[in-house]
Amino acid sequence: MSYGYFIEPNRLVVRHEEIKIKRWDPAFDGIRIALIGDVHGGSNSVTAEKLRLIVEKTNAENPDLIILLGDYVSQTGYGAINDRPLKMPIEEVAENLNGLKAKYGVFAVIGNHDWWYGSDNVADSLSANGIRVLQNQLVEVVSENGKKLRILGLKDHMQQGAFNTFHDAVREAAGPTDGTGDLILLEHSPDILPVITGEYNGSDDLRLILSAHTHGGQIWLPIIGTPIVPSGFGQKYARGHIKDRGVDMYVTSGIGTSVLPFRFMVPPEIVILTIRSE
């Protein structure tokens, strides 16, 4: 318990992963995407200094694209969730994340803790510090030879309401541009995958989903694994590369802590994800 409270939350691992995706456009073969999730400013060991270290380490990797996957704030444990004061003001969180740089830009989505506090407040603070927040919005990045890669950021799974509205959001935002580039979908929760695949597929160009939210369970134990994962699918979507229903997904275990201030065998991480054509 001492290690899980005092040592591991203070760590910051840069994890390099490479995945191969079928039908991935060769124009973006080898693209390097930095994933930062669940910052939870003010939670155990997530200080202003830690946030600046995240920026420093991420930029040192010279990624092509930086994606922030929600939950920038952390509430205290008293009162109704949407009335609880923050452990670190969102303005301070955003200011200390300022300076992230990537060839194709820095994009973010909102998480459930951000929504409880106020999505617009969080989005405004991040935007003021050079981070573009996507809420059911699509952006395109263009390779040197003119090929397009589309990035669709969805609202948080709790903010959006019933899960069955998500495939409609994908169709509305991405459907009109189908056939004009591979699609990466950003959503705070990995539980989105079954909703927007199969018969509910909102785009035939969907290649990759990037998510966070689970914290990797925060605690991993031998044999048992991760006892508690905030996902309706348990350990299936806990963290890492998941291939399900014909779609690739990567879930980062994130930076901060929530509910319990412990991490054990699931250190805070920045993921540098390299995508290759299969």
pLDDT digits (tens, 9 = 90+) for 20-53: 999 999 999 999 999 999 999 999 999 999 999 9
* Position 164 confidence tier, pLDDT thresholds 50, 70, 90: low
Continuous segment of H or E residues that includes residue 182: strand 182-186
Look at residue 224 and give its three-state secondary structure.
coil
Rounded Cα–Cα distance for residues 247 and 156 (Å): 20
* Position 86 confidence tier, pLDDT thresholds 50, 70, 90: very high
The lowest-confidence range among 130-144, 206-220, 232-246 is: 232-246
Residue range 131-146: mean pLDDT, rounded = 94
pLDDT digits (tens, 9 = 90+) for 236-275: 999 999 999 889 999 999 999 998 999 999 999 999 999 9
Tokens (6 digits) for 76: 């205290």
pTM above 0.85, yes or no: yes
* Position 157 confidence tier, pLDDT thresholds 50, 70, 90: confident
Angle 238-139-107 from CA coordinates, rounded to 5°: 50
Specify whether domain 2-277 bears CATH 3.90.1200.10: no
